Structure 1
Amino acid sequence: MKHAEPQGPVSFIANVARLPHKGLPVVITADGAQRAALAAEHDLLSVETYRAELLVAPWKRNGVKVSGRVEADITQACIVTLEPVEAHIDEAIEALFLPDDSKLGRQGFEGGGEILIDADGPDSPETFSGDTIDVGALAEQFFGLAIDPYPRKQGASLDAGGEIEPAENEFQQKLRSLLGKS
């Protein structure tokens, strides 16, 4: 029995049962409602543009490789002043998928074999069931990871300033007087 997973604002279901040898190009351009939903989903003031260009291609025997880029122009609230901060996102996308009934997908990390992990290398393959993968949700994950979690307006500072400086100045003055320097 299949259950429907909640779909994100830029969901795009790709049928991967019979992919062309050269791959299936997918372009996702978010409309106004989708951009508003993306902004709400990722706690942004707004998303001005959003575009993902992907290639969904066969990988190994039964696997799927999704590669491409997601680009967006967003506006966030500065963590110091709450003023709008504009940012451009340009993030590479690369992910591997294996059917959940594949031998490698079933074994995973519990298969008893040795698995080498390169921290700078590609992520290990994810599994999927059925004949489809939501490549739009994948692009949105990479979009979310590229958002600066601490946006700061240029020149904004987290220094408390007024309360710390006088104490430091007072200390420095006492130190100078003890050392006999003025």
Structure 2
Amino acid sequence: MSSPTSDPASGPAAAAPTRFRTGGLSPRKPTRFRFRPEAEARAALAADLDLLALHALELTGEIRPVGRDELLLVAQLTARADQPCGITLAPVPALIDEPVQRRYVAGLAAPEGDEVEMPEDDTTEPMPEVIDLAEIAAEALALSLPLYPRAPGADFGQALHAAEGVTPLSDRDLKPFAGLQDLAAKLAAKADPGPEEG
């Protein structure tokens, strides 16, 4: 019996599937997978996640049967991306290497309303008809990316703006002027001795 996935080295015609019908998975042995989207799909995902670039993305793992009513997806997500610095918008490299786990349980009701109590394990989900590796990889990547990417040397105090072609003043540039203002205030105080007694 052939594996649900195929060897990527065998050529484009034998590309591994990215979607698995849960009813068609083996109930006895794991179903292995390796998801590596092409450049076009990575570019679309980069745009969705506000990335400057998504150079590489791979989700490798397997879907294991657990009893009759559960499936366990265990995988490793690796990625190389460029995020915009939150201050300067300069590219900030991000290297992702994170474990990914999803537990699918048949008969588990999907949460509805605001008062539904969520399970402590947020990786547990109702059994879907289809497991979509692209969706899982996108969600896992979004959760793994740094929230506040910062380029080396970037500082919130330097987030000053100027017209195009004009170098903005930084805090370091403004400090001498602040010092001159303090000096002028001291000199003015000495020059004004106040009302004379008499």
Q: Give the TM-score, by structure 1 length.
A: 0.69
Q: How does 1:75-114 map to 2 (within 5 A)?
A: 75-99=82-106, 102=107, 105-106=108-109
What residue in structure 2 maps to residue 178 of structure 1?
Answer: none
Asked if 1:26 corresponds to 2:33, the answer is: yes
Q: Tell me the C-alpha RMSD between the 2 structures.
A: 3.1
Structure 2: give runs of 5+ residues left out of the alignment.
Answer: 1-16, 159-170, 187-198
Whether the aligned pair in 2 keeps the contact of 1:52 and 1:69 (CA below 8 Å) is yes
Determine the C-alpha separation between the residues in 2 that align with 1:124 and 1:40. Answer: 26
Which of 37, 41, 50 is equivalent to 1:43? Answer: 50
* Letter matched to residue 13 of structure 1: R
- Alpha-carbon shift at residue 116 of structure 1 (Å): 7.2
- C-alpha distance in 2 between matches for 1:13 and 1:83: 36
Q: Which has the higher contact order (CA 8 A, sep 6+)?
A: 1
How big is the shift at 1:82?
1.2
Aligned to 1:127: 126
Give the letter aligned to residue 144 of structure 1.
Answer: A
Counterparts of 1:142 and 1:116 in 2: how far apart (Å)? 19
Alpha carbons of 1:136 and 1:19: their partners in 2 closer, same or farther (altered >3 Å)? farther
1:145 to 143, 146, 157: 143
Q: In the aligned structure 2, how far is the partner of 1:16 from the partner of 1:67? A: 15
* Same amino acid, percent of matched pairs: 25
Counterpart Cα distance in 1 of 2:67 and 2:27: 14
Q: Specify whether residues 158 and 70 from structure 1 end up closer, same or farther in structure 2 by C-alpha distance, changes over 3 A only.
A: same
Q: For the Cα contact (< 8 Å) 1:75–1:87, is it kept in 2? A: yes
Query: In the aligned structure 2, how far is the partner of 1:47 from the partner of 1:89?
Result: 11
Equivalent pairs, count: 150
Q: How far, CA to CA, are the matches of 1:27 and 1:74 in structure 2?
A: 19
Summarize the Cα distance change of 1:153–1:125 in structure 2 as closer, same or farther, 3 Å threshold.
Answer: same
Scaled by the length of structure 2, the TM-score of the pair is 0.64
Is residue 12–residue 137 contact of structure 1 (8 Å, CA) maintained in 2?
A: no
For residues 133 and 30 of structure 1, the distance between their equivalents in structure 2, rounded to whole angstroms, comes to: 16
Preserved CA contact (<8 Å) 2:104 2:124:
yes
Question: 1:128 Cα deviation (Å)?
Answer: 3.0
SS in 2 for 1:159: helix
1:73-96 Cα distance to aligned partner (Å, 9 max, x none): 001111111111111111110111
CA–CA distance in structure 1, aligned partners of residues 122 and 28 of structure 2? 23
For the structure 1 residues 163 and 35, does the alpha-carbon distance in structure 2 shift closer, same or farther, using more than 3 Å as the test?
Answer: same
Larger Rg: 2
Structure 1: where are the runs of 5+ without partners? 1-10, 175-182
SS of the counterpart of 1:74? strand
Question: Secondary structure in 1 aligned to 2:156?
Answer: coil
